[in-house]
Chains A and B, each alone.
Chain A
Amino acid sequence: MKKRLWASVVLFSGFLFGCDWESSGPQRLRDAYGTSCFEEDGKQKDANLGEITPQDDIAGTYAMLVVQNAKLETALACPPDNRCDLEIRDFLLARVPAERQAIYMEFCDQKTTVTGGKLNPESRITQGLREAHIFVVKEFGKVADKDRIPLLDGIVWLWGVKDLVDIAKDPLPDEPSDEHVFDQDNDGKPGVTVEVTEPLEGERYMVRRAIWNLGEGKLQQDGMTIKGVLRSFIIEEKAIGADPPMLKQPSSIEQATDKQSIFMLKRIHERSTCDYVRQVSEILFSEGS
């Protein structure tokens, strides 16, 4: 009798513990929105979720936005008598090491908006360019103050070009066969590819140089934000090919004098990547729009 009783208790206990019920909210969301980018019962897949604490020191990791307001001239859409307003928003991952002697920047994304023309051209960069890991390191030349990034002149970004002797002054190549042109976005086309959606659909293969002269970047009272003015910039683009060919038409970009260009940095997690910056850029910088 005792044995039977114990057997019943053991059986019943096993029944209670044996249930492997689980309701997974992430799985439900994945089913609804079609994503698989989570680690079950974990955090985000690739972002370090340590604390983001405000600091009174510019050292740290940032999502960076550089807004360049310019005038665009291109034959069909924005002729000389009707130049367009061009806003270029470059999103970067930036790091200032604890020594405060330099800033490391990685290009993550670019969004452009053209307004005010006869036909406002629309284009976007490719994923290959976003993921091309284009870096620039700019030395401060001294240890920066705790609360500001110093004036930084001559920050040069090159797309689709390599091995220039003077990266700021050497002329950009005109032909895809030029030895300085390379397939930076790894799509099998020369230079970098820009996808054009308006006024014609197609691809433009180009090389590009941007030179920024940043004003002082001041750490704001919130300990999370650095803001400054982009004093001046130069953007040169050369089309070295296009499909269809009419998209190869030349264009010129000049800094707008009627609208200030700015830069802004928002403190993010130490180990965040460009992928994170791309995901949160619109939210982080909604005030910078």
Chain B
Amino acid sequence: MKKRRVLYIFLSMFMFGICVAQVEKRLDFSGYLQSDIRFIVEDYRGEKTGDGYRFELNRNDIKGRLKWTPHDKVQGVVDARFRFYGFNESERLHDLFRSTKIEPYDFQINEAYLAVRGAPFHWMDFRIGRIIQTWGTADMFNPTDNLNSRDFSDPLDYTAKVPNQMVELAFYPASFLQVQVVWVPFFKPSLLPPSAQLGFSVERTLDNCFLRAPVPPLDRGQIELLQALFASIPPCDLNFTNAEVRIVKPSQSLRNSQVGARVKFTAGLGDFGDMDFSLSYYYGRFSFPIAYTAVADIKRAAGSTLDVSYTAEVMYPRMQVAGFDFSLSPESKQVPGFFGELALIFPEKVVFGLAVLQNGRIQESLFMSATNVPRTPFIKATAGLDYTIARRLYLNFQYVRGFFDEFNDRYGIHNYFVPALETKFFEDELKVRLAGAWNLDDLSLVVFPEVTWVAVPSVEIVLGSFLYLGDTKPLDPMSYAGRSKFGQKAAGRSVAYLKAKYSW
């Protein structure tokens, strides 16, 4: 009730602000209204085989972005979103007394900051507040872009980021040079898709007997020992519970703040157009969880049944990133645009530990450890080009080394080919796009075909699908790296979707 009152007050103030500012022409209000319905088009990628061919999503978003410029040098920005989930979440009688259970929704402020230009010096700007930063020149796959974590809670909205509070200083010592320094006091982790928990789940046969447990990041010999240990027990006698995964959160100390600095240059290359390039540095943490510890607690249950409860911990290792990126945008339409980005990452070493407990005591012979992330620096990079042929066909090809969630742990750094083709018909009323990502190491694939119809200006109807192709079973059951990137169930569900969007 209190939550709703706050929302109403906020909404009223928001609308009042719009009215006042509209009158004084100091306001820019943009946003969109979007409906999104998704249907799962397979039944083998869920926790149990047979779960599928059902609706996954029935969502409505209202997003508004308000830019208020009360003074030439000052701007306030609020970017907020209401999301209605569209599924009934009531489970008990008293849930039927509350509309939030029948109509669940949430409210999120993506950005809310104050920007001051030319103060205290004419060559300096600053911004303070809740900001989303974007660094790098590549298309989405930006290894030098680490200030905001990624928001993969919706796998189809893969460009989304987790907003964070920060202080940004920008300096302009020369027309071709920009220096940016950012301080982010608190670390926030990336949001994961709901399917991520399948990465820790125990697979069972149709008659509910144990089939497979998640492979820990250990040496092959250690994994074989563990598997032999459990293989000696009849699968139906092994009551392996799903892992409880705990997060080791960084403390709120100053040393857990994040700092980034970037120097950006622009150079004219005559007929070849302008080239932007930048050097950057980041100190902070990798925003995706890395396996840290695991405990298998074994208890004899009734009869010959053995209960195994599995608790895992994940953590966010520290890192420093030295980055370089460039983009070349030729003036001639005959020449493709090129871009590239390289991050040299200096990681914190992470040693994984696994213990088997029996009656609450560690079994010494089954206490294992192995380096999950070595201290050795490693590279994540993206290189690509984009090109428009005859104003109709847009091509974008990227080579990506290191997906968003890869950190040179025992899974390794993989290589990807990320193509996108787009063409338009009927004076741009109809747009057909085919995009995807292909893992060149295990050959799994995600394909993303989409048709967009601009029904009337500002109104888009989108029909598309997001399909994961690859082996759901481990490619090598004795290796942490032996899973298919897009094939594994943890990657997500294949869906078809229908969206309607009105933008203003």
Contacts and interface: CB of A to CB of B under 8 A. Distances in A.
Answer whether A and B are interacting partners: yes
A149 to B, nearest CB: 18
Nearest to A269: B225
B229 A284 contact: yes
B350 interface: yes
B446 to A, nearest CB: 31
Interface stretch (B43-51, B367-375, B424-432): B367-375
B234 interface: yes
A279 B225 contact: no
Contacts of B354: 25, 29
B367 A26 contact: yes
Interface in B357-383: 357-358, 361-372, 375, 377
Nearest to B315: A23
Interface string A93-112: 00000000000000000000
Interface centre among A41, A283, A289 (most CB of B within 10 A): A283
A184 interface: no
Contacts of A26: 293, 351, 353, 367, 369
A45 interface: yes
A43 B357 contact: no
B233 interface: yes
Contact of A49 (B221, B230, B318, B347): B221
Contact of B362 (A33, A40, A50, A284): A33
A47 B365 contact: yes
Contacts of A19: 318, 320, 346, 348
Is chain B's interface secondary structure helix, strand, loop, or mixed overall? strand
Contacts of B353: 24-30, 38
Given A35-B364, A44-B365, A279-B365, A224 B317 contact: no
Contact of B351 (A17, A22, A50, A275): A22
B237 interface: yes
A186 to B, nearest CB: 22
Give the contact-size bracket for chain B.
35 or more
Nearest to A50: B221
Interface residues of A, number: 46
A225 interface: yes
Interface in B279-314: 292-293, 295, 298, 300, 304-306, 313
B128 interface: no
A35 B355 contact: yes
A42 B363 contact: no
A284 B229 CA distance: 6
Contact of A45 (B367, B370, B372): B367
Given A49-B225, A283-B232, A28 B313 contact: yes
Nearest to B367: A38
Contacts of B363: 279-280
Given A22-B349, A42-B369, A29 B293 contact: yes
A41 B234 contact: no
Nearest to A18: B346
Nearest to B305: A286
B371 to A, nearest CB: 5
Contact of A22 (B232, B234, B355, B375): B375
Interface of A: 16-17, 19, 21-30, 33-35, 37-47, 49-52, 224-225, 266, 268-269, 275-276, 279-280, 282-284, 286-287, 289
5 contacts: A21-B349, A21-B375, A35-B364, A43-B222, A43-B368
